[in-house]
């Protein structure tokens, strides 16, 4: 049975000689609209419309039916230029609160109640199926779990790029496909890469699938129709990757991806790159160019660091490797055994190819400026 929340409206008409109370018919608030945010606490809004008479009207909302405390309830009345929310008063029963509104004339008003919903969680999941020709089919789904302590009926879940209408019993979960976030990627737009990035992936070289920059999604597309080509933006979520096999899809790995705007690429982790090792070590440090204060104590100095990156390829074919190194503070590279790029103030980027069974070594020295003892 679809849960309804009723608001009992007490219209108070003031006359010059006496006070009269008019009880209107019960109003039904619409189904909840839940805004999906990256937050532990979500908010639901229920709305209705009614004709308000000129003057003051008192609204009584049974918050106990929604397990909402008066302090968490937010009531809004529109149009704001015609209707004013005068105030609220809690009765002896703490679950009962009266809201007083005043209209400057008879008006059709929209009344909404917004309240927190604790226990409703959601996540985006992606299933990536790699085809034998190098292409990929990506299917997105919205996973919702109800731990509210009550059933949820006809709830509209709305996010920036996610939407669904669900009915869900207490304690249950549901998965809703998201066609707009799904699509295919042609083989030409997918590259396999091996990357060593200690800050992002730890001490192991990681094998990645890099999907080329996502085109912007056509805003006129129906939310029930998947675009022919995967497009952005895409929300962050968990990813399970499968590859085509004679016996059916074969699971490869599971990871997560962050929010990916249109125009940016997406990196999918396949797992540690077997047969490729990278050893990172600080070979030498020294303090130079010391500056003294008035008491001949060291106030500032520059720090020299020599770093070594040793790469071994135990695979049966040459390996192209990308190495990203991060360093804090204000620094420069004084010398390097290999060419490098500096894409931002904190990072160095190296590319090299290591033949089968071979070892390669990158050595570079940094000068960190203005360090304090």
Q: What is the pLDDT of residue 19?
A: 35
Which tokens belong to 101? 């509104």
Q: What is the pLDDT of residue 372?
A: 94
Which tokens belong to 47? 């709305």
Q: Give dist(CA 191, CA 319) in Å, integer.
A: 14
User: pLDDT of 286-305, one tens digit each?
Assistant: 999 999 999 999 999 999 99
What average pLDDT does the segment 266-282 reach? 95
Q: What is the pLDDT of residue 92?
A: 66
Q: Give dist(CA 334, CA 287) in Å, integer.
A: 15
Percentage of the residues of the chain whose pLDDT score is greater than 90: 70
Beta bridge partners of 255: 239
Q: Could you tell me the CA-to-CA distances from 203 to 12, 55, 67 in Å, in that order?
A: 72, 70, 49
Across 24-106, the runs of DSSP E, i.e. the strands, are: 27-29, 33-35, 42-52, 55-62, 74-78, 83-90, 96-103
CB neighbourhood size of 74 (10 A):
13
Q: Among the listed ranges 53-67, 207-221, 251-265, 355-369, which one has the minimum average pLDDT value? A: 53-67
Domains identified in the chain and CATH numbers:
5-117 (no CATH), 119-187+214-265 (no CATH), 276-371 (2.60.40)
User: pLDDT of 52-102, one tens digit each?
Assistant: 999 988 887 767 778 888 889 899 999 999 999 988 877 666 556 788 889
Q: What is the pLDDT of residue 29?
A: 83
Q: What is the pLDDT of residue 121?
A: 93
What average pLDDT does the segment 167-192 reach? 93
Q: Could you tell me the CA-to-CA distances from 354 to 4, 209, 259, 263, 278 in Å, in that order?
A: 67, 20, 33, 32, 12
**pTM summary value:** 0.77
Q: What is the pLDDT of residue 177?
A: 93
Average pLDDT for the chain: 87
Selection from 164, 122, 127 nearest residue 143 by Cα: 122
Percentage of the residues of the chain whose pLDDT score is greater than 70: 89
The half-sphere exposure of 187 on its side-chain side, counting CA atoms within 13 A, is 6
What average pLDDT does the segment 166-176 reach? 95
Residue 166 neighbours by CB under 8 Å, 6+ apart? 144, 152, 155, 157, 174, 176
Q: Among the listed ranges 183-187, 223-227, 321-325, which one has the minimum average pLDDT value? A: 223-227
Q: What is the pLDDT of residue 93?
A: 64
Q: Give dist(CA 116, CA 66) in Å, integer.
A: 10
329 has pLDDT over 60: yes
Which tokens belong to 268? 């999918």
Q: What is the pLDDT of residue 226?
A: 65
User: pLDDT of 118-148, one tens digit each?
Assistant: 999 999 999 999 998 999 999 999 999 999 9
Q: What is the pLDDT of residue 60?
A: 78
On whether the CB atoms of residues 82 and 46 are closer than 8 A, the answer is: no
Phi, psi of 343 (to 5 degrees): -65, -25
Q: What is the pLDDT of residue 71?
A: 85
Residue corresponding to tokens 């929340």: 5
8 has pLDDT over 90: no
């Amino acid at each position: 049975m679809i849960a309804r929340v009723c608001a009992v409206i007490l219209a108070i008409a003031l006359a010059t000689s006496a006070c009269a109370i008019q009880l209107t018919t019960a109003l039904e608030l619409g189904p909840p609209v839940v805004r999906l945010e990256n937050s532990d606490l979500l908010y639901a809004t229920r709305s209705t419309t009614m004709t308000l008479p000129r003057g003051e009207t008192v609204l009584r909302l049974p918050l106990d039916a929604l397990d909402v405390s008066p302090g968490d309830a937010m009531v809004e009345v529109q149009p704001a230029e015609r209707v004013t929310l005068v105030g609220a008063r809690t009765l002896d029963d703490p679950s009962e609160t009266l809201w007083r509104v005043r209209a400057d004339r008879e008006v059709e008003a929209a009344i909404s109640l917004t309240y927190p919903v604790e226990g409703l969680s959601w996540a985006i999941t992606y299933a990536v199926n790699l085809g034998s020709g190098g292409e990929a089919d990506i299917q997105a789904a919205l996973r919702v779990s109800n731990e509210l302590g009550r059933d949820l009926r006809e709830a509209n879940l709305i996010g920036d790029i996610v939407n669904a209408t669900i009915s869900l019993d207490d304690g249950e979960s549901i998965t809703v496909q998201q066609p707009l976030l799904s699509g295919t990627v042609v083989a030409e737009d997918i590259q396999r890469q091996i990357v060593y990035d200690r800050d992002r992936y730890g001490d192991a070289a990681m094998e990645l699938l890099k999907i080329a920059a996502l085109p912007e999604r056509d805003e006129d597309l129906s939310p029930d129709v998947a675009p022919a080509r995967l497009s952005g933006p895409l929300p962050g979520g968990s990813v399970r990757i499968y590859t085509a096999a004679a016996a059916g899809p074969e699971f490869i790995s599971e990871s997560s991806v962050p929010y990916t705007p249109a125009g940016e690429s997406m990196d999918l982790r396949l797992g540690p790159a077997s047969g490729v090792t990278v050893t990172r070590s600080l070979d030498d440090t020294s303090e130079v160019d010391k500056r003294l204060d008035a008491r001949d104590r060291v106030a500032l100095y520059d720090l020299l660091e020599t770093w070594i990156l040793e790469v071994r390829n135990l695979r049966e074919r040459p390996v192209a490797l990308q190495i990203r190194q991060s360093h804090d503070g204000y620094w420069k590279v004084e010398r390097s055994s290999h060419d490098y790029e500096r894409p931002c103030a904190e990072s160095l980027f190296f590319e090299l190819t290591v033949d089968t069974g071979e070892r390669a070594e990158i050595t570079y020295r940094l000068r960190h400026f203005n360090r304090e003892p």
